[in-house]
Structure 1
Amino acid sequence: MALRGKLRQLLLQRRRFFSTSPHPAPVSRTLPANEEQTRTTLALVLSEPDPARIPHIFRSTSLTPESHFHRHVYTKAISKLMDSNDHDSIRTLIRDSIERLSTRKSEHLFSQFIVLYGRGGLVGDAVDLFDRMPAMGVNRNVKTLNSLLYSCLLAGDYSEMARIFRDFPQKYGLKPELDTYNTVLKGFCDGGCSSEAHAILAEMEGKNVKPNLTTFATIIAGFYMEEKNDEVGKILNLMKKHGVKPGISIYNVRIKSLCKLGRSEEARALLGGIVSKGIKPTRATYGSLIYGFCREGKLEVAKGLFGEMVGKGLEPEPVCYFTLVFFMCKGGDFEAALDVCREVMGKGWVPNMTTMKLLVDGLVGIGKVDEAREIIGHVKEKFQRNSDKWSEVEDGLPKL
């Protein structure tokens, strides 16, 4: 009852702050899984000082991982429990949620629970749930198999993923499909075994499963990560064989991979090549290049690419602004960082606390205390949960 009262109190507080009506509607005692309750549950999860109480929060709701927003709440809860290494509470949270389903069980929901176990690093529990599905009144299918493989991927358990891929299709009479192969390829490539891709592609061809852009993008990223440049060329040739054209998504993977390896000049040359072919770059193309040149300390090149992107009518992603602000601060260009920060805050986005603290300290260091106060005021207004921390920073600023 105390938890339900806390939920109602949070709902009322939200309505006082955000409702345009002077008479907020009464809070339902049944706590339906509507958007308002979902947001309140998320707020409780994020603010709960004792992670072990998170399963109790969910018991007072009717949330399931059926919708995207509900899955987001589950993901945040499991992430918080992972941070405290509380695997028992993760098990309790998922088991309680399954028990609340009663007659609403489906392959889709069980697939989501299997994935949640993977997010919690509990692959063994995911396999156990997959095994017990028929006894719980739900049939297995290739979608639940794909979820189990993805669960291994999330947990970084690539050896178990390989075992499941090798044994389970025959054991349970399930026929792998394109998503199955793409998930397994992602696991092999993330695990440093990109060379396995050739065998997987051969198997796909033998079973008449046609690879797509995702298939090849995954393999290319894997070979770049292992710095096997010759293999990248072989995969590009294989794409031609399979009739898959390397559109901008493939070029974006190549550019991002090169920038991660500190080869941003090569990536920029690749950009020039795709433009000459009449392929239009996207904001992701420029975002990778800007990050790459910033990381290599070439801020002027990065700023030039930013201007080029905006000049083409491409709206930069928030992370692109954040990258510029962070590296400009690292490079001591605090006035330029302030300009970019003001622009991004005007769009409703704010860099993380580490970046903003760098900017505030830098502005104070060059005598721009008023500007530092302006930044702090905006952040306190945007993120009231951290307002106490920022008040401490503000109190430490030089007095006028």
Structure 2
Amino acid sequence: MSSVLRRLRGVFAKPPPRTRTRIDHLSGRHDLEEVVAKFKKLSRSTHFRRNNVPYEKTVRRLAYHQQFALIEDLLEHQKQYVARSSDKFAARLIGLYGKAGMFEHARKLFDEMPSLTRRPSLVHLNALLAACVESKKFDDVDEIFRLLPEKLSLEIDVCTYNTVIKGYCVMGDLDSALSLLDEMENKGIKPNLISWNTLLEASYGNGRLSEGEKIWDLMVSKNVTPTVRSYNPRLRGVLLQNRVTDAVKLLDEMRDKGIEADTHSYNAFIVGCCRNGDLDEAKNWYWRLMESKCNADRVTVSALVPLLCEKGDYELAHRLCIEAMDQKLLRGTDTLQSVVDFLVRESKVELATEIVEHGKAKKTPYDLKLPQAA
């Protein structure tokens, strides 16, 4: 594979920058300090503070640019509203610190709750555990889970267990995650579909197909009805072993049970075909995805475009790039610029030019440049 194709695959494997928020729209021409200043003014409104979306998207944007001091500035400013808001507001702030990878700040806020005239509740504890997992501070998971509930006289629930299960799964400790199922039942807490789906994702997603099948059988024996979110990791696990026929049978099984395949279901086949370099089958599943009225997403584009370029299907690669911009699947320019560069190298200047011009015409322009042909 040529160096440019290796680079193309590499950039498409990167997670995309986060989608722009309303705050971005309001202050798109200002620097990030101005974004925070405007956010503070908007947060004076009770109605604004009730909306989680601008909080999450703004913090994610700042985290993407590694502006952690600004995240602290923004969230510390919000503490003044904790006393007059519901428990969910403080839990949101704790969670946002976690999503930014700032667990120490999340723990500090949790410990400060009494001074903010808000007694720590189970909602806050669950948010702290989630922040711990999000920040990958796995050494702290057991301490919080085992010690804090008793210390604070809090009765943990299925949400608490699900967060710890996720933490163990992310650590790769599936055995510890599974052991919590018995513990939950001993305490009269019934594992829910989220519990089972998390375990299925951890097993099938890591190529542990036999363990995944055992978990699946156990789930069914507990009279838990699987959904498409249960089947999708199973599809990915089967396709990781190139068992396409078995995967198609699973798709048929879903249909027979009235479970409609979604974008992730079709992506499992598309990714599997692309991994094997089978463009014809990858395109076949792509067209099936489109016919099912599901929407292509970042995974679809990231899997297909490098193989399309490698196999010389420039027209469809061009089309997917245009659609990715229209649907805001890719905000950053690295992936698109790599396609433009590749098309120019292959003397497909007209297609490359159309991508560049289309990017310039967007409301939030893509800074793409047309290189000189080799």
Q: Do the structures match in fold with TM over 0.5?
A: yes
Q: Is the 8 A contact 2:165 2:180 kept in 1?
A: yes
Deviates more, 1:218-227 or 1:300-309: 218-227
User: Equivalent residue of 2:212, what SS?
Assistant: helix
- The structure 1 residue matched to 2:153, chosen from 167, 170, 173, is 173
Deviates more, 1:51-60 or 1:314-323: 51-60
Offset from partner CA, 1:66-96 (integer Å, 9 cap, x none): 3132223432344145x25x4x443332212
Q: Which 5+ residue runs of structure 2 have no aligned equivalent?
A: 1-20
How far has the Cα of 1:42 moved from its partner? Answer: 5.7
Offset from partner CA, 1:233-262 (integer Å, 9 cap, x none): 221222123211233221102223455xx4
Q: Is the 8 A contact 2:110 2:120 kept in 1?
A: yes
Within 2, Cα distance between the matches of 1:248 and 1:102? Answer: 38
1:228 — aligned with what? 208
- The structure 2 residue matched to 1:190, chosen from 170, 184, 190, is 170
Offset from partner CA, 1:253-307 (integer Å, 9 cap, x none): 2223455xx43x2256223234046143222200122123213322221111112
- The structure 2 residue matched to 1:379, chosen from 347, 359, 365, is 359
Q: CA RMSD in A?
A: 3.0
Q: Is the 8 A contact 1:149 1:184 kept in 2?
A: yes
Within 2, Cα distance between the matches of 1:367 and 1:329? Answer: 12
| Structure-2-length-normalised TM-score | 0.81
Indicate whether 1:308 and 2:288 are aligned.
yes
Within 2, Cα distance between the matches of 1:267 and 1:163? Answer: 43
Highest CA radius of gyration, 1 or 2? Answer: 1
- The structure 2 residue matched to 1:150, chosen from 130, 155, 170, is 130
Deviates more, 1:265-274 or 1:216-225: 265-274
The 1:323–1:122 alpha-carbon spacing in structure 2 relative to 1, beyond 3 Å, is: same
Q: Which 5+ residue runs of structure 1 have no aligned equivalent?
A: 1-35
Aligned amino acid, residue 240 of structure 1: V
The 1:199–1:77 alpha-carbon spacing in structure 2 relative to 1, beyond 3 Å, is: same
1:140 — aligned with what? 120
The 1:294–1:65 alpha-carbon spacing in structure 2 relative to 1, beyond 3 Å, is: farther
Deviates more, 1:101-110 or 1:335-344: 335-344
Q: Is the 8 A contact 1:54 1:77 kept in 2?
A: no
Within 2, Cα distance between the matches of 1:77 and 1:352? Answer: 12
Within 1, Cα distance between the matches of 2:277 and 2:129? Answer: 39
User: Equivalent residue of 1:43, what SS?
Assistant: coil
Aligned amino acid, residue 133 of structure 1: M
- The structure 2 residue matched to 1:246, chosen from 210, 226, 232, is 226
Aligned amino acid, residue 338 of structure 1: H
Offset from partner CA, 1:334-388 (integer Å, 9 cap, x none): 233124445555667667523322332333334332222121100111165544x
The 1:222–1:80 alpha-carbon spacing in structure 2 relative to 1, beyond 3 Å, is: closer
Within 1, Cα distance between the matches of 2:327 and 2:100? Answer: 34
Higher-RCO chain (CA-CA 8 Å, sequence separation at least 6): 2
1:66 — aligned with what? 50
2:250 — aligned with what? 273
2:272 — aligned with what? 292
2:63 — aligned with what? 79
| Structure-1-length-normalised TM-score | 0.76
The 1:372–1:97 alpha-carbon spacing in structure 2 relative to 1, beyond 3 Å, is: same
